[in-house]
């Protein structure tokens, strides 16, 4: 397998990734399992279905909320944040 070739941030911390990986995949590879907290119970959620069906892996991507981490390809310099509730 090829080596890490790009860098992005998750809640301000640097994370390495490989071109072509989704945000969710890159974060799981970095052992970041909690991607958001729910709006009512503030409970932790992460990647569940992995294919864009369940909307559980929502993160904030460069300031835009409700983005599915499992579908969006990670890009160098992206600023990803844990989504708190609906972040609205």
Partner 1 sequence: MHNVVIVGGGPAGLSAAIAAAAAGAPVLLIDSNPRLGGQYWRLPTENFGDQHNQHFDLDTGLMLINAVNARKEIEILNGAQIWSATHKDGINTLRVIQNGVEKIINTKNLILCTGAYDRALPFPGWDIPGVMTPGGVQSLLKGHAVLAGKRVVVAGSGPFLLPVATGVVKAGGEVVELLEANKSSRWLLSPFVMLENVSKLKEAFYYIKVISQAKVRARFGQAVIAAHKGSDGNLASVDIATVKRSLKIKKIRNVKCNVAAIGWGFTADTSLAGALGCKQRVAKDGGVVVAADENQQSSISGVFVAGEITGIGGAELSMAEGVIAGLSAAKFVGCKVEILKSHRKRRAKKQRFADALIKSYPVKSGWLTWLSDQTLICRCEEVTVANLEYAIDELGATDSRTAKLLTRCGMGLCQGRVCGRSVVDLVASKLKISATDIDRFSAVNRPIISPIPLGLLAKGE
Q: Does 40 bind partner 1 (CB under 8 A)?
A: yes
Long-range CB contacts (within 8 A, 24+) of 47-55: 50/24
Residues 6+ apart with CB under 8 A from 2: 18
Look up tokens 């409970």; give the residue: 43
Q: Does 6 bind partner 1 (CB under 8 A)?
A: no
Q: Does 33 bind partner 1 (CB under 8 A)?
A: yes
Q: Does 66 bind partner 1 (CB under 8 A)?
A: yes
Footprint of partner 1 on this chain (CB under 8 A)? 1-2, 18-22, 24-26, 28-29, 33-35, 38-41, 43-56, 58, 66, 70, 73
């Amino acid at each position: 397998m090829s080596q890490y070739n790009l860098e992005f941030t998750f809640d301000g911390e640097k994370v390495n990734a490989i071109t072509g990986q989704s945000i969710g995949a890159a974060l799981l590879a970095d052992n970041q399992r909690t991607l958001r907290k729910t709006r009512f119970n503030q409970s932790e959620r992460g990647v569940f279905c992995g294919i864009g069906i369940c909307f559980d892996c929502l993160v904030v991507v460069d300031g835009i909320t409700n983005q599915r981490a499992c579908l969006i390809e990670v890009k160098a310099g992206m600023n990803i944040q844990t989504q708190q509730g609906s972040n609205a």
